[in-house]
Structure 1
Amino acid sequence: MNVQFPPKPPLPGDGWDGRVTTGSPGIPLYETENVPAPESSEEALYCEAETLPTVEKEKSAWESSETDLEIEDTEKFFTTGQKELYLEACKLVGTVPVSYFIRNMEEPHMNLNHHGLGPKGTKAIAIALVSNTAITKLEVEDNDITDEGLLSLVQMLQENYYLQEMNISNNSLGLEGARIISEFLQRDASSIWNLELSGNNLKEESAELLCQALSTNYRIRKLNLSHNQFSDLGGEHLGQMLAINVGLTSLDLSWNQFHIRGAMALCNGLRANLTLKKLDLFMNGFGNEGALALGDVLRLNSSLVYLDVGSNSIGNDGASKISRGLEANETLKVLKLFLNPISMDGALLLILSIKRNPKSRMEELDISNVLVTEQFVKTLDGVYALHPQLDVVYKSVLGLTAKKTLPLWTNPMKLIQSYADQQKITVVDFFKSLNPAGTMRMPVGEFQKILIQQNKVPLNRYQVREVIKRLDEKTGKVNFSLVAVSRP
């Protein structure tokens, strides 16, 4: 008999009309039409780019062959429930069941990192996930899943439209794994929007395959390619992809091997990119030449909000080039330059460039390895006066006495709690009173600006930074409910 899986939720661009046909035995295939659906206001800018024409190509071996995520007696297994299905799948492939998976099959986040699954254990998990509607995020990092396990996962994703995030980092997938993922992405037939491929021994040829797929797949919003072995040629492929892609909003390329040529290529792509908001390039080799290209990007790009170029051999000359971009940039909020050979002179150029830009939205400048003087701090106070939302993180201050530094470490939450007790309110009420919207969440930069300017509980920037650490959701917003207090 044919098994009817739970209906798939319709997705933007899927055009699913509910019709079902039977593919491999026991596996129903959903007919789809490539009809774009209306986008949300948040994604309206994606509509401006024309969808590239699909190219007819021969099906790969794994596409044309019948899926092996099948169990002969499907009627028996799908009537006994999720747990029983998984246990039978384990028997079928010859692997030991993972108790954690059984206990958490109804939770949205399934973390199976470091469980030693191997290809067989991964295949059993994939069989169980074909009909699972609860899990939306799957993590199988460091499980030696091999190509066989990866193939099982992508076959499962063709049927499971509830799974949206997948972490398959540190599985040494290499070129063959990149080929499987590339073919899967080109089908654009799943709900996955967050894909983590860190530490998979991916090199230049892998970059070419992945970028070929991402040049037409705009469903992937967040991609982690850190801790791989991409160098300048990989940077060229990625740059070409970024110039075309209108889906990615977050890209992690940290801990790779990009140097001047790769840096230039990436920056060329960023000049044309309209959607990328977060870019992590920590621990590469951009140098001052790459910093010059980044400065041009910051001057022209209107989408980047977060940029990490820490540990990229950028000196004062590079800081000067970046500062020119900051003078004109109106979107960047976070710039991390930690562990670069920048002195106080370079740091001064950076903060003065922000001062000269009345439309700057900078909230955090991380130069925390740079040793500065009291004179620098006085100059910075002038910048803060114009941009109260800004927080510059530096190493320390030469010349301040212990007497001056002691008040900086007074617990700000105790000060706020004391004020709340006097007013007979809770700390949460105090924070909500600072929010014009009166809600439990607000953007970090806006919160910092208000906290600095309010006079109910005078706080310095060190104390404000501590409060934000306590409330930061890591989503660009603070959440007042993270402070557990009771009404006095």
Structure 2
Amino acid sequence: PSTVMKEKPAWENSETDLEAEDNEKFFTTGQRELYLEACKLLNVVPVSYFIRNMEEPYMNLNHHGLGPKGTKAIAIALVSNTTIIKLELEDNCIMEEGVLSLVEMLQENYYLQELNISDNDLGLEGAKIISEFLQRNASSLWKLKLSGEPWEGNLSFHCFHNQFSDQGGEQLGQMLALNVGLKSLDLSWNHFHIRGAVALCNGLRANVTLKTLDLSMNGFGNEGALALGEVLRLSNCLVFLDVSGNDINNDGASKLSRGLEYNESLRVLKLSLNPITMDGATLLVMSIKKNPKSRLEELDISNVLVTEQFTKMLDGVYAVHPQLDVLYKAVQGLEEKKALFLCKNPMKLIQSYADKNHISILDFFKSLNPTGAMQMTVGEFRKTLLQQSEVPVNHSQIRELVRKLQEKPGMVNLRSARATAAPGPGQVTPPSLLLWFLT
């Protein structure tokens, strides 16, 4: 996992490696004994995977059927654990009692940074416990996932979620207004509607640290979109916002666009699976054009069917904001030959240019970054590719390059170009690369 590794206290750094290793082994053994004793007292079966991986930074206990008591036993063992920094507890039916145990543990454990407790029937009381805990800022936690998961039945669509509802939204809104440690929050697949949406947004307006927020598959509607528009207008903290599947139509898109005219921080906005038409998409795109300080790099309206006229208007927006990429469904009336050209493999074009100029593909990508660094933000990479003239590429082709070179969200690694490059004369093409060129 992409996590920040813990720093050793000064007293540990002063020890020899051998002494530190012996202490860690002794300490881990004590944790095992503590966990087994807790399981015995709580009358639950110990989880062998947990015992075997106590010294690893990533602990995945998803779908283990822990229940409230099993979670409490885990929490008791984690109080003194200094190794685990990412904990997955999705779908364990931990309920209110389990949440309380985890919160008590987090008040003592300052090493755990990421926690996933999705799909656990937390309910309103669970939301209150989490909210009150996070308002105190009493842990090192910076990423919290509270989403639910969809399940497709034979007759209807069901959602196994945390059932926070609007009251839970109010509790979490209060938390967001006061918390100054949380950077990432996933609240997808919950029952937030207008009241809960507005309460959450009120908290967001006062929050100064949250950068990533997933609100997908809720019921914000146009009123929630209005509140979110105000958040975007007043706040310059959020970098990633997902409101896919929230019953937002053109009216809601208009309200969001008012915030986009002023926002200077947002880089990714996902609005797919909403009943937005090309008219709403036009309002969103034009609001970005009006904002000279917009840093938006991706606007996802991938279910909206647009015309070729829309794409021409989009070219004008790209001229102002070359870092931007708008994902839409399709283009009506686009000629077949033109569509084929737009899909031409971009790496083949770059390889052809490199061969003619007797350079490597990596040399070409290095020339894109004047600083010489091997990493670039997606926005800078897209902007530089569009502005260079050696290998003309369009947004579809750049999107494909980003997909191949993206090492982590928002960043591309230019060294990855070596793996996607075509072999030189006399070299053999590996099967994986052959598949890449064929597609």
> Which residue is 1:31 aligned to?
none
Aligned mates of 2:71, 2:203 — CA distance in 1: 36
> Which residue is 1:191 aligned to?
140
- 2:28 paired with 1:82: yes
- 2:369 paired with 1:446: no
> Which residue is 1:209 aligned to?
none
SS at match of 2:367: helix
- 2:92 paired with 1:143: yes
Superimposed CA distance per residue, residues 173-219 of structure 1 (whole angstroms, 9 cap, x where no aligned partner): 4456556656755765543332333349xxxxxxxxxxxxxxxxxxx
Aligned mates of 2:144, 2:258 — CA distance in 1: 34
Instruction: Read off the aligned partner of 2:144 and give its amino acid letter.
Output: L
Are the aligned partners of 1:78 and 1:85 in contact in 2 as well (CA < 8 Å)? no
Aligned mates of 1:233, 1:391 — CA distance in 2: 37
> Which residue is 2:306 aligned to?
372
Are the aligned partners of 1:442 and 1:479 in contact in 2 as well (CA < 8 Å)? yes
Displacement after TM superposition at 1:92 (Å): 6.6
> Which residue is 1:228 aligned to?
162
- Out of 445-454 and 426-435, give the one that drifted further: 426-435
Aligned mates of 1:155, 1:394 — CA distance in 2: 46
Displacement after TM superposition at 1:287 (Å): 2.6
> Which residue is 1:93 aligned to?
39
Instruction: Read off the aligned partner of 2:231 and give its amino acid letter.
Output: V
Displacement after TM superposition at 1:461 (Å): 0.6
- 2:307 paired with 1:358: no
Instruction: Read off the aligned partner of 2:120 and give its amino acid letter.
Output: N
SS at match of 1:458: coil
SS at match of 2:329: strand
Aligned mates of 2:379, 2:322 — CA distance in 1: 9
> Which residue is 1:458 aligned to?
392
- 2:224 paired with 1:275: no
Equivalences, count: 394
Superimposed CA distance per residue, residues 351-392 of structure 1 (whole angstroms, 9 cap, x where no aligned partner): 222222222222111111111111111111111111111111
**Closer, same or farther in 2 for the Cα pair 1:100/1:414, shift >3 Å?**
farther
Aligned mates of 2:185, 2:167 — CA distance in 1: 18
Aligned mates of 2:54, 2:279 — CA distance in 1: 56
SS at match of 1:434: coil
Aligned mates of 1:296, 1:88 — CA distance in 2: 50
Q: Of 79, 82, 94, which aligns to 1:133?
A: 82
Superimposed CA distance per residue, residues 411-464 of structure 1 (whole angstroms, 9 cap, x where no aligned partner): 223333444455555544433331232222221111111122222322111010
Instruction: Read off the aligned partner of 2:119 and give its amino acid letter.
Output: N
Aligned mates of 2:128, 2:168 — CA distance in 1: 15
- Out of 331-340 and 392-401, give the one that drifted further: 331-340
> Which residue is 2:60 aligned to?
111
RMSD of the alignment, in Å? 3.6
Aligned mates of 1:341, 1:381 — CA distance in 2: 24
- 2:118 paired with 1:169: yes
Q: Of 177, 180, 188, which aligns to 1:246?
A: 180
- Out of 321-330 and 367-376, give the one that drifted further: 321-330
SS at match of 1:143: coil
Q: Of 276, 285, 291, which aligns to 2:225?
A: 291
Counterparts of 1:266-345 in structure 2, within 5 Å, are 266-345=200-279
Instruction: Read off the aligned partner of 2:254 and give its amino acid letter.
Output: S
Instruction: Read off the aligned partner of 2:111 and give its amino acid letter.
Output: Y
**Closer, same or farther in 2 for the Cα pair 1:116/1:422, shift >3 Å?**
farther
Displacement after TM superposition at 1:406 (Å): 0.6
- Give % identity: 70
> Which residue is 2:20 aligned to?
none
Gaps of 5+ in 1: 1-6, 11-15, 19-76, 201-225
Aligned mates of 1:442, 1:393 — CA distance in 2: 21
> Which residue is 2:370 aligned to?
436
Could you state the TM-score of these two structures normalised by the residue count of structure 2?
0.76
> Which residue is 2:325 aligned to?
391
> Which residue is 1:50 aligned to?
none
Are the aligned partners of 2:61 and 2:89 in contact in 1 as well (CA < 8 Å)? yes
Could you state the TM-score of these two structures normalised by the residue count of structure 1?
0.69
Are the aligned partners of 1:369 and 1:395 in contact in 2 as well (CA < 8 Å)? yes
SS at match of 1:393: strand
Are the aligned partners of 1:172 and 1:199 in contact in 2 as well (CA < 8 Å)? no
Superimposed CA distance per residue, residues 286-330 of structure 1 (whole angstroms, 9 cap, x where no aligned partner): 333333333333322222222222222222222222223222222
Instruction: Read off the aligned partner of 2:287 and give its amino acid letter.
Output: S
Gaps of 5+ in 2: 1-5, 13-22, 150-159, 425-439
Instruction: Read off the aligned partner of 1:464 and give its amino acid letter.
Output: I
